[in-house]
Structure 1
Amino acid sequence: MLHPRQTGFTLVEMAIVLVIIGLILGAAFKGKDLIDGAKVKNMAAQVNKMQAAFNVYYEKYGAYPGDGCAALVTTQTLCTGAKNGSLGLLENNSAPILLVNTGILSAADMQSVFGVPWVITEGAAITNYTTAHHYMTPGTQTSAGVTTQQEVDVRFVCALDRAIDDGVPTTGNVRSSAANAATQAGAAAYTNDGGDCWALAGNGSVGIRVLP
């Protein structure tokens, strides 16, 4: 007597399918972790390049890039003003352009992992930056030197701060508004307490000191 053929998956087949799905999902999540980690390492490398570039420029020209520029310029010879070791609005704006045009940095070096360029800005207390210092930050600048900072994923800021600085957003060379609820509502503050940077949520500014 012939028995009707049964269709469908057996338990073994279903188990194999679930294992394969689990491996695929695990690989996908692991891949994202690797990409995120690579972004942090890329930022750290860009910080080192930028800080070195300022020093190289100083050794070549006797002043920091942008110092003495009375207007937005593209060549160092146009910076004929007084060199005081500090940068104003238009001088900040000229600095990245001069670093690229003198060949010390490439245009790619000036592009952040957040899809906007690195710009140079003076410190401001509202972003937890020290007003006497100058910082590289992702954002845009107008021809008048006005900077608009790009708020970024605070998880990357926290990871960068711990990787190259003290892990505190209000001290050290890496600063962020993520710890300032008055200016950045919704951003999770981070501290150097061993907590998981990647469990944070929200956005905040990020500025890395490049000049005294």
Structure 2
Amino acid sequence: MTSHRQQSGFTLVEIAIVLVIIGLLLGGILKGQELIENSRVTNATNDINGTRAAVNAYLDRYRRLPGDDGPGAAVAARGGSWTANMAGNNNGVLDATAAQTFTGQGEVDNFFRQLRAAGFISGDPAQVGAAAMPRNPWGGLLGVAGNGVPGINGRAVCVSQVPGKAATALDNRLDDGNPTTGSFRGFTSGAGVNAAPTNAAAAYAEDLVFTVCAEL
């Protein structure tokens, strides 16, 4: 007698269940990525607003602008983490051009060092130069400029290496969503580059990277 082995495959119900599971997994991954990106936007928003609040608190306590505060002897006399070599020239303005925003030059590093020494932001006040600058949620830097940022009247706080979608979200949260108007501006950059806020962007694009700045 000849026996015949019946070949069986997946039923339509089994295939449907597998497809549903794959869809749920993909949806969960995409949703997780969206949540992570939204969290980064929220953290960057808090960094900008927190820097603004820290500046106001510093002005209220010392009646001087962080970064510009001096002379050295007066700063060092506060003790603790204060040192004479973190003093500015005390001329009433933050001496930092747009080109120095992410370099730690001018009074940029002293800006963050003095805020740290005063306890208004976290970090080591002994760090100098570019090392004194905080990291932002996308691995770039948080920087400041005293003047020269196109479209910004006076001081600015800036975030580098911001993906286009996140730059749009930040502008919508803090201003009008347009990189060319209002108190929040966008500037063209490149991936992995802490580009100075000098090249104003005409519009945000999700496949590009930006430096963004807000009035400080």
Structure 2 matches for 1:147-162, cutoff 5 A? Answer: 150-162=160-172
Give distance in 2, aligned partners of 1:39 and 1:82.
35
Shift, 1:22, TM fit: 0.5
Give distance in 2, aligned partners of 1:119 and 1:75.
21
1:79-126 Cα deviation digits (max 9, x unpaired)? 373342x2103222310111112211113993311213312123435x
Q: 2:179 aligns with which of 147, 162, 169?
A: 169
Distance 1:123 1:114, change over 3 A: farther
Structure 2 matches for 1:8-157, cutoff 5 A? Answer: 8-68=9-69, 75=82, 79=87, 81-84=89-92, 86-89=93-96, 90-107=106-123, 110-124=134-148, 128-130=150-152, 132-138=153-159, 150-157=160-167
1:2-44 Cα deviation digits (max 9, x unpaired)? 6523233122111111110011001111111111111111111
Shift, 1:164, TM fit: 1.5
Corresponding residue for 2:192? none
1:118-143 Cα deviation digits (max 9, x unpaired)? 12123435xx343x5122223xxxxx
Shift, 1:201, TM fit: 2.1
Q: Percent identity?
A: 32
Residue 205 of structure 1 aligns to a residue whose secondary structure is strand
The letter of the residue matching 1:113 is P
How many residues are aligned here? 182
The letter of the residue matching 2:139 is G
Corresponding residue for 1:202? 208
Shift, 1:51, TM fit: 0.5
Give distance in 2, aligned partners of 1:15 and 1:120.
55
Gaps of 5+ in 1: 139-149, 191-198
Give distance in 2, aligned partners of 1:57 and 1:175.
25
Corresponding residue for 1:189? 203
The letter of the residue matching 2:203 is A
Residue 215 of structure 2 aligns to a residue whose secondary structure is strand
Residue 33 of structure 2 aligns to a residue whose secondary structure is helix
Give distance in 1, aligned partners of 2:18 and 2:177.
43
Which aligned segments of 4 or more residues in structure 1 are displaced greater than 4 angstroms? 68-71
TM-score by length of 1: 0.73
Gaps of 5+ in 2: 97-105, 125-132, 189-197
Tell me, yes or no, if the aligned pair for 2:161 and 2:209 is still in contact at 8 Å: yes
